[in-house]
Chains A and B, each alone.
Chain A
Amino acid sequence: EDQVTQSPEALRLQEGESSSLNCSYTVSGLRGLFWYRQDPGKGPEFLFTLYSAGEEKEKERLKATLTKKESFLHITAPKPEDSATYLCAVCGAGNMLTFGGGTRLMVKP
């Protein structure tokens, strides 16, 4: 059974204070690891897909990295508008998507 664990559950940062969110996973036959952003009352919004260990992707203040056991979402110099819940998910050999519980990020001005 595929499993995804995200930590921390919640993270408070000051504007400009960089940090990282962790996603640990176990999956049979990784076909992709995903990061999504979810704002309150809305559907998740796609950020990144990573397919193999060592892969990295960047978008504005966000950078996602992948190893064989975990992924990190690095947030550099965050702004209040980065406040949201960040979700990690894996797609395994069964072609199902398994999500972690999410990290709720709050960035104070």
Chain B
Amino acid sequence: EAQVTQNPRYLITVTGKKLTVTCSQNMNHEYMSWYRQDPGLGLRQIYYSMNVEVTDKGDVPEGYKVSRKEKRNFPLILESPSPNQTSLYFCASSYSGNTEAFFGQGTRLTVV
């Protein structure tokens, strides 16, 4: 089954404690991206990657890091999380930036 898998689904952490949200796709897609979704602000792109070892900043990259060492994986790293990073996060993959994107189930992160 074609899918994008994110883990964990839910996470509560404390300010400053480094964390990683994993994302994996099984469709051999070139393009992967991370979004955060906040009430009243909609979905905003954090980072995207057009291919292995190629990553670019989206609209809201501050406080986040990503890496793309393998085609199927695109982890999101918060090195020093802060409460304003409390949000619902989605990973997505597609053949390219302008084709149908498949989204993961979401990760609800709370930073206290």
Contact = CB atoms under 8 A, between A and B. Distances in A.
B97 A98 contact: no
Contacts, number: 62
A97 B58 CA distance: 8
Given A96-B45, A97-B33, A99-B42, A43 B97 contact: no
A95 B48 contact: yes
Interface in A5-56: 31-32, 34, 41-46, 49, 51
Interface string A56-82: 000000000000000000000000000
Q: In the complex, which range does the number of interface residues on chain B fall in?
A: 20 to 34
Interface of A: 31-32, 34, 41-46, 49, 51, 87, 89, 91, 95-102
Interface of B: 4, 33, 35, 40-45, 48, 50, 56, 58-59, 90, 92, 96-106
